[in-house]
Amino acid sequence: MAIDEFEAQERIQEYYEEPYHRGRCPHCTHTHEDNNPLCGDVIRLELQIDERGTLKEVYFNGDGCCISQAAASMLVEKFDGALVEDVKRFTAQDMLELFGLRLTPNRQKCCLLSWRVLQTAIYSPVQSNGSLPILPATKEAAR
């Protein structure tokens, strides 16, 4: 294994075992959650975006494989304090490069889960009850 790959692995392990900003965002204004239907990995992002479009705080929470969780942790660190515009410019390819290890196509989905959630979260102001929109099971629940 090349030295840089070894370093990439060590770095991923650090993010997995000592994640950056894993938890709840105290003054959350935007949030989104999604899962990878293939394997059940779940990532929720909570952001505080101010009127100038700065991501003042970014937190994640989730459950799943080492790749999905470590990638979310890296992403959160990168965009803590960044601008919404920076998020919009950050492509899937950029995310895979940030992760730093070449992944099989199936596992790229794990790496990209938090990226996908972030791209949606910036457009998803929190609902008044803090819950995510879900198609109701009954007409009563829809009201």
Partner 1 sequence: MRTPCAAPPLDPERFRPDFPILGRMVHEGVPLVYLDNAATSQRPRQVIEAMTDAYERHYANVHRGIHTLSAEIDELYEGAREKVRAFINAPRDASNDDNPATTQEVIFTSGATHSINLVARSWGDANVRPGDEILVTEMEHHSNLVPWYQLAQRTGAVVRHIPLTDDGLLQLDSLDRLLTKRTRLVAVSAVSNVLGTINPVREIIRRAHDAGAVVLVDAAQSAPHQPTDVQAMDCDFLAFSGHKMLGPSGVGVLYGKRDLLEAMPPFMGGGGMISEVTLEGFRPLYLPGKFEAGTPPIVPAVALSAAIDYLGAVGLEAIAAHERLLTQRTHEVLESVGGLRIIGPAPEHKAGIVSFVFASGRPSGHDVAQFLDRYGIAVRTGHHCTMPLHKRFGVSATVRASFYLYNTLAEVDKLGEALAAAKRAPFSAFLSAARSE
Rounded Cα distance, 123 and 105, in Å: 27
Rounded Cα distance, 88 and 125, in Å: 16
| Interaction of residue 103 with partner 1, rule CB under 8 A | yes
Rounded Cα distance, 119 and 134, in Å: 19
| Interaction of residue 26 with partner 1, rule CB under 8 A | no
Angle between helices 3-17 and 66-79 in degrees, nearest 10? 90
Listed residue (78, 104, 74) closest to 89, CA to CA: 78
In terms of CB distance, is 10 or 51 closer to partner 1?
A: 10
Q: Which of 3, 18, 26, 37 binds partner 1 (CB under 8 A)?
A: 37
| Interaction of residue 23 with partner 1, rule CB under 8 A | no
| Interaction of residue 125 with partner 1, rule CB under 8 A | no
Q: Which of 82, 83, 98, 101 binds partner 1 (CB under 8 A)?
A: 101
Judged by the rule CB under 8 A, the positions of this chain that interact with partner 1 are: 9, 12-13, 16-17, 35-42, 63-69, 101-105, 107, 110, 135-140, 142
